[in-house]
Each structure stands twice: as C-alpha cells, then as structure tokens.
Amino acid sequence: MMNTTTLDHDEDVCQFKMAGIRKWPDIDCWKKLLESEWLPMVIVPMEFRTHHEDDLSATRTFGYDAEGRQCYYAHRFAISSLYSDDDDLYYESPAYRERVESWRLTDGRWLVYRLTDKGGCSSSDGFALADCCPL
C-alpha cells in the first residue's frame, strides 16, 4: 500500500496531508531526530511516499525535494518469533527490530541514523555519514 504526502512548511507542528486519510505515518516528523546544527545542512523534503507492509510489520518512507530528487529515507521493521512461557503456552514477540532514518545533505552525502533491537537488547549505531542513501 502506498500513500503520497505533501508537506506544508507553514505550520509550526508536523502536520502532513495524506490523501485525507491520516497524518504522517507511524514514524516521527522527518526532522525530529536531527540536532539543530544539522538542520541548515539538510535538504528539506517536500513530498513523501510511504509503503506499508502490515503482514511484515514494515514501513518505508521516501522523501523528495522540490525538484523531485530523493532527499529523505526511513524504514522500520520488526521480525517476530514464537516464545514459550514454560506452560505449553506460546506467544509472539519481536526478535529483531530496526529503525533507519537518513537525510541528504547539501554537499551530497547522507546523514544516517540507525537503531536496532535484538530481542530486548537495544543497540544504537547512532549517526554516521555515508556516500549514498542506505536503501
């Protein structure tokens, strides 16, 4: 399923228009993770395309600048496993989760944020610079 979102930059809060159905998908506003010193170096996305895979608990979002070039990318996904509570009852719980957000900088590089969770043991790779978008 794909939705297209256009960003209204005149609003103070992150309000997104998404085909009259919902606001921005389940991730935070595109710039929420950015520290203030990075904001002047980031290309501002004007349009978003979001792909949801409900069966896989996955979402991918692509952001595009005013010229239609990709300048933002984000994904989240979770892989679940069955666990036993030692009483022959089984439950499903995330075994691995990943969140990635990336922004194209004015110099052409990408600022990438990555957070992983392996069965309750969170580890953050944090921020890194890359030569290309981490698709």
Q: What is the pTM of this model?
A: 0.72
pLDDT > 90 in the chain, percent: 32
Compute the average pLDDT of residues 26-31: 60
Compute the average pLDDT of residues 8-14: 33
**Residue of 121, 98, 110, 94 whose CA lies nearest to 38:** 110
Lowest-confidence segment of 13-27, 54-68, 121-135 by average pLDDT: 13-27
In angstroms, the Cα distances linking 38 to 33, 42, 67, 110, 127 are 10, 6, 21, 11, 11
User: How far is it, in rounded angstroms, from Cα 63 to Cα 86?
Assistant: 46
Highest-confidence segment of 5-9, 24-28, 67-71, 74-78: 67-71
Q: Are 70 and 133 in contact (CB under 8 A)?
A: yes
**pLDDT category, 120, cuts 50, 70, 90?**
low
Q: Is the pLDDT of residue 102 over 80?
A: yes
